Amino acid sequence: MGRKVKYDYAFKLECVKLVLESHYSAAAVSKQKGLNQSNIRKWVGFYKVQGEKGLLPRNNRSYSATFKLEVLQSIDKEFLSLRDACFKFNIPDPGVIVKWKRSFANFGFEGLQPKAKKGRPKSMANFKRKKHKSTKPLTREEELLQKIESLRCENDLLKKFHALIQAEKKARK
């Protein structure tokens, strides 16, 4: 299941085309559509750099430490703004780069390493121990124990079924 997006692809494309093809300003489109002007500027920037695929919703991604370092170094070398770096490296939000800068300043390259996942695992089923089936044939004793267990289960089932029938007879009387 993908994450919920606030503005769909068609709406973003419509706003971008108003700015680029109809020559409206971002302020005019934001007023007309009732949304923040910075969103429109961001969509236009992604559209200019990556085309229509720049407007598609992005899943949460984890970036490698080397990629983060490359982004930070290119910001310093090429004097890119945070927004320009986002457009160039297809990063959805400048706040992500700000976090990387802060971590790099405080902890160096180690601060850029991916963090361990927090919270409860999504599925506890992965952690249950599964019984491993042996490739060896069962001994006679093990076969008999399995047969006893299946007969006990069958017997318990029949007792419960019989008790249910008796309860229905009493209820009818």
> What are the structural domain ranges in the chain?
7-57, 60-116
Q: Cβ contacts of residue 93 below 8 Å, gap of 6+? A: 86
Using pLDDT thresholds of 50, 70 and 90, give the confidence band for residue 3: low
pLDDT in tens, 39-98: 888 888 888 877 777 777 777 777 888 989 999 999 999 988 888 888 888 887 888 899
pLDDT tens digit sequence for 154-170: 999 999 999 999 999 99
For residue 1, what pLDDT is reported? 47
Does the pLDDT value for residue 127 go beyond 70? no
pLDDT of residue 124: 63
Q: Cα(34)–Cα(29) distance, rounded to whole angstroms?
A: 8
Residue 121: predicted pLDDT: 66
The Cβ of residue 15 has, within 10 Å, a number of other Cβ atoms equal to: 24
133: number of CA atoms within 13 Å, CB side? 2
Q: Crossing angle of helices 9-20/26-33, nearest 10°?
A: 140
For 104-118, what is each residue's pLDDT tens digit?
888 888 888 887 777
The pLDDT value given to residue 126: 61
Contact predicate 35/41, CB 8 Å: no
Looking from the CA of 46 toward its CB, the CA atoms found within 13 Å total 24
Give the model's confidence band at 19: pLDDT under 50 very low, under 70 low, under 90 confident, else very high.
Answer: confident
Coil, helix or strand at residue 118: coil
